[in-house]
């Protein structure tokens, strides 16, 4: 029991460090960097808000990705305490190297590679169906995120569509997504539900063509309300309305980052916690606190640095980058797929950058970034597999 508790403590420390690194890194710094670059928000206030929103996202939406990382990457063999600890320590060490040397170590690639490595070394079988889901999203993200950001930026630059029309239309799309993302608090015990589903359940309207009429009506109301509010603000003060929309998008992306990234830190802990029968919500709160600590202590410096890059994009291209980032992060949460927030954000920035001739996107830098992502996955897999195999041979 003492040995098991010691293992849990070591794994918990590694998990908390991972959560801290995620909060201090891309998920804690990118959501509000556009708003800071547009002078809509101070650096310190951005760091404070992103920490709170990341914590809420982790607590309310982190279950799916946490379960996937902890239980769905290997078939036929549950992670042992030593395997989970080895995977977490390997991933945490590699992330630490990236944090302190400046190399772009992708957390999602690193954690996924490490857990798959120790799982296979333990004797488990590959979860090919889950790997196919993960690979599909990882490969599709640059094209979907970059393509959507490019199209959105071009739409906002179209002189035939005035800004008081274009931005409310985009706001309506965001409102539609918000109405249909799932939250733990809105569902029955042990389940999640969206705002539209929860309200539709209360309205109990007859189905229309097989769809819940109450949910459809709620989605429509939220969509129109968000678009109408944005239209009103833009007509009153175009600059202020644009900045408020940018702040709202930053808040949604920060919330989504918490929900999609916390599972990378606490997912490997779940098999270790089974004997203690701790509720998943409590574990999510612990992971959210790690994200919060990282955001409050490390994110302001990163936000200040990134804001200079985002200020070159301008408010419209920043909006174009954040909308697909929000949508992709929420898709990852819904399907329980660990995804790199760096990949999401970088793809969206590149897409919005290509929409302008002065975008200045560096092909060499992009190639280096992609190679770093692949290297993160391969290195984490190889190191964790080798280390755990050596530990088992010694035991």
Question: What are the backbone angles phi and psi of residue 183, rounded to the nearest 5°?
Answer: -130, 145
Q: Is the confidence at residue 173, as pLDDT, over 90?
A: yes
202 to each of 206, 215, 222, 300, how far by Cα in Å? 12, 10, 16, 42
**Averaged pLDDT, 278-306:** 85
Per-residue pLDDT, 253: 92
Q: What percent of the chain has pLDDT over 90?
A: 44
**Averaged pLDDT, 238-256:** 91
On average, the pLDDT of the chain sits at 86
Q: Is the confidence at residue 117, as pLDDT, over 90?
A: yes
**Averaged pLDDT, 282-309:** 83
**Averaged pLDDT, 312-321:** 82
Question: Using CA of residue 37, residue 41, residue 44, residue 48, what is the dihedral sign?
Answer: negative
Q: How far apart are CA 134 and CA 37, in angstroms?
A: 33
For 74, the enclosing helix (H) or strand (E) is: strand 74-75
**C-alpha atoms less than 13 angstroms from C-alpha of 282 in its C-beta half-sphere:** 7
Tokens of 115: 């857990």
Q: How far apart are CA 19 and CA 38, in angstroms?
A: 28
Pairing of strands 193-194, 125-126: unpaired
Q: Is the confidence at residue 359, as pLDDT, over 60?
A: no
**Averaged pLDDT, 204-218:** 86
Per-residue pLDDT, 128: 95
Q: How far apart are CA 171 and CA 26, in angstroms?
A: 24
Query: What pTM value is reported for the model?
Result: 0.89
Q: List, for residues 53-104, the tens digit of each pLDDT value.
A: 999 999 999 999 999 999 999 998 888 888 888 998 898 888 877 767 656 5
pLDDT band of 2, cuts 50, 70, 90:
very low
| Winning range, highest mean pLDDT, from 15-29, 57-71, 99-113 | 57-71
pLDDT band of 357, cuts 50, 70, 90:
low
């Amino acid at each position: 029991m003492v040995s098991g508790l010691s293992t849990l403590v070591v794994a918990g420390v590694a998990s908390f460090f991972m959560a801290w690194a995620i909060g201090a890194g891309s998920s804690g710094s990118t959501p509000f960097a556009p708003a800071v670059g547009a002078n809509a928000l101070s650096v310190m206030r951005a760091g404070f808000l992103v920490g709170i929103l990341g914590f809420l996202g982790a607590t309310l939406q982190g279950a799916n990705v946490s379960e996937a990382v902890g239980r769905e990457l290997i078939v036929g063999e549950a992670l042992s305490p030593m395997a989970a600890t080895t995977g977490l320590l390997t991933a945490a060490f590699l992330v630490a190297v990236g944090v302190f040397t400046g190399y772009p170590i992708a957390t999602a690639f690193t954690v996924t590679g490490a857990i798959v490595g120790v799982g296979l070394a333990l004797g488990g079988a590959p979860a090919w169906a889950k790997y196919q889901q993960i690979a599909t999203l990882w490969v599709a993200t640059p094209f979907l995120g970059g393509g959507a950001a490019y199209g959105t930026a071009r739409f906002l630059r179209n002189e035939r569509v005035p800004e008081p029309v274009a931005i409310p239309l985009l706001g309506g799309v965001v409102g539609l997504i918000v109405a249909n993302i799932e939250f733990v608090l809105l569902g029955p015990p042990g389940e999640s539900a969206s705002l539209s589903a929860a309200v539709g359940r209360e309205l109990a309207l007859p189905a229309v063509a097989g769809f819940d009429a109450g949910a459809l009506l709620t989605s429509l109301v939220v969509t129109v309300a968000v678009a109408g509010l944005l239209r009103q603000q833009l007509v009153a003060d175009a600059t202020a309305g644009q900045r408020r929309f940018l702040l709202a998008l930053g808040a949604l992306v920060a919330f989504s980052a918490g929900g999609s990234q916390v599972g990378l830190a606490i997912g490997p802990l779940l098999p270790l916690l089974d004997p203690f029968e701790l509720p998943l919500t409590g574990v999510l709160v612990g992971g959210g606190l790690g994200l919060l600590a990282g955001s409050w202590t490390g994110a302001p410096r990163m936000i200040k640095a990134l804001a200079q890059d985002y200020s070159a994009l301008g408010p419209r291209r920043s909006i174009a980058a954040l909308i697909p980032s929000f949508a992709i992060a929420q898709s990852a949460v819904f399907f329980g797929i660990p995804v790199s927030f760096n990949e999401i954000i970088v793809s969206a920035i590149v897409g919005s950058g290509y929409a302008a001739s002065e975008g200045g996107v560096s092909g060499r830098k992009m190639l280096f970034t992609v190679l770093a992502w692949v290297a993160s996955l391969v290195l984490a897999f190889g190191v964790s597999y080798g280390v755990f195999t050596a530990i088992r041979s010694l035991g």
